[in-house]
Structure 1
Amino acid sequence: MCLKCNLFDFILISNVLPFCSPRVPSLKRIGPHNINILNILIGSLLGDGSMEREGNGSRFAFYQEKSHGEYLLWLHRTISSLGYCKQEIPIIKTRKGINGEIRYFYRFRTFTYSSFNWIYDEFYPKPLGRKVIPKIIDQYLSPMALAIWIMDDGTLYKNKGLKFCTNSFTLKEIQYLSFLLKNKYSINSSIYKITAVNQYNIYIPKSSLNILIKIVKPYIHPSMYYKLNLV
């Protein structure tokens, strides 16, 4: 089963739902939301995705460097076709990097929904003020969400295994993710410390990579095949 078949079988329905209009106040955007869009949105929060509180609701923000533009534009097409963001194609923007170099990137946001507030509260609990891994992630770490996580934050490691760049999460949160990979999908992983203080990554060894590929390949955009050493 392909991602396109999974998602687009209900596009015609979602596009006429009243909460998917840009002119609807966030308090009236109450869902219900199809599990596929929740998997995409929550899967993105494991990687580069973020959320913002805006008035009475919350929205998702997606960001990718120009080198991953094809993936970002595909993600936008998918989410806009489901009625969750504007249809205007994101344009390339620039910003200064740490060393003053010019960085090129794409960025877009979803509409603001009051029915997204529970996701924001789970991933950005007060008073921490940072993104965390909530316990509810076990309910949403589907093959589709796992694929989004890989496309956002996965890296082929020495042409053998896969590394998740989980630098922003605590060791306890990363241990929970590692446990879920084993418990839900029988995927072995290890956690190793990187050079930065109190930062850790998850490593999927070559012995478990084939299991992972079988689970997520139907949902991986072709521009991201290289992350799994696929051709």
Structure 2
Amino acid sequence: MTKLYYSSNTNSTINSISKELNSILIGLLLGDAGLYRSSITSNTRLEMSFGTNYKLFAEFIGDLLSSYLTNPVKSIEIATNKRVYTNYRLKTKTLPIFNHYYDMFYKLDTDYDKFIKIVPNNIEILMNPIVLAYLIMSDGNFDKGRNRVRIYTNSFKREDVQKLANAINKNLGIYTGVLYDRKDQWILTIGSKNLDLLRRTVKPYFHSSMCYRIGL
């Protein structure tokens, strides 16, 4: 077990979390998962939303985080002008154990006076095959036409995306490029030359329903 240290509203507490779950959380937070905190002295909850086709993956993540949930993953019907579709949502309890991750992934943007999501400054220490696997399952896509994997890091600033690419390159030896997408948004790409290495690295940690995101 790896010890992580958190502070609650008034008292310092020590909680333990497995190295594997720590890496899973980091991968999900680099992707679609978000953290919510009502004030800097309050505790934090994690939320994640999954599309219609991702019920199995949503339930899998719900099982991994079951110790931190009050309710299991919920299905929500969303009506639009054209159709009704199902969305799956996960929300943890509000707990001090997530404060540490909030401090890692969010910083105050003084221009807008709000907290924005960032790539942690120590991502080179954190990056490993589990982190990359869960990032791709969350935000990855297989481009069949070019035989490559794209990771949609659009919400991060360019320097953060480059920092993430450098960590993958350095820690895992998988060349990862930074590609302009649109409107000052940047994504990661892993090309065909590195595809076999990528698959060998992350597939052991993939849920079977998500293997198509690495072209399997």
Task: Quickly say closer, same or farther: Cα 1:209–1:198, change in 2 above 3 A.
Answer: same
Aligned length in residues: 202
Matched, 1:182 2:164: no
* Aligned counterpart in structure 2 of residue 208 of structure 1, from 181, 194, 210: 194
Which structure 2 segments of 5+ residues have no match? 2-8
Distance 1:77 1:29, change over 3 A: farther
Distance 1:130 1:184, change over 3 A: same
* 2:87 alignment counterpart: 105
Determine which structure has the larger strand proportion and give its number.
Answer: 2
Partner residue in 2 for 1:19:
none
**In structure 1, what residue type is equivalent to 2:19?**
I
5+ residue gaps, structure 1: 1-9, 11-24
Q: Deviations over 1:71-125 (max 9, x none)?
A: 1111101221xx1223x4323103356x775442111112222232121022111
CA–CA distance in structure 2, aligned partners of residues 66 and 186 of structure 1: 34
Q: Structure 1-normalised TM-score? A: 0.79
Identity %: 27
TM-score (norm 2): 0.84
Work out the CA distance in 2 between the residues paired with 1:162 and 1:26: 45
Equivalences for residues 24-173 of structure 1 within 5 A: 30-54=14-38, 56-80=42-66, 83-86=67-70, 88-95=71-78, 102-127=84-109, 128-159=114-145, 160-173=147-160
Distance 2:79 2:188 in 1: 29
> Which structure shows the higher helix fraction?
1
Instruction: Tell me: CA distance 1:193–1:76, structure 2 relative to 1, closer, same or farther (3 Å).
Output: same
Task: Note the aligned Cα RMSD (angstroms).
Answer: 2.3
Letter in structure 2 aligned against 1:218: P
CA contact 2:151–2:188 (8 Å) conserved in 1: yes
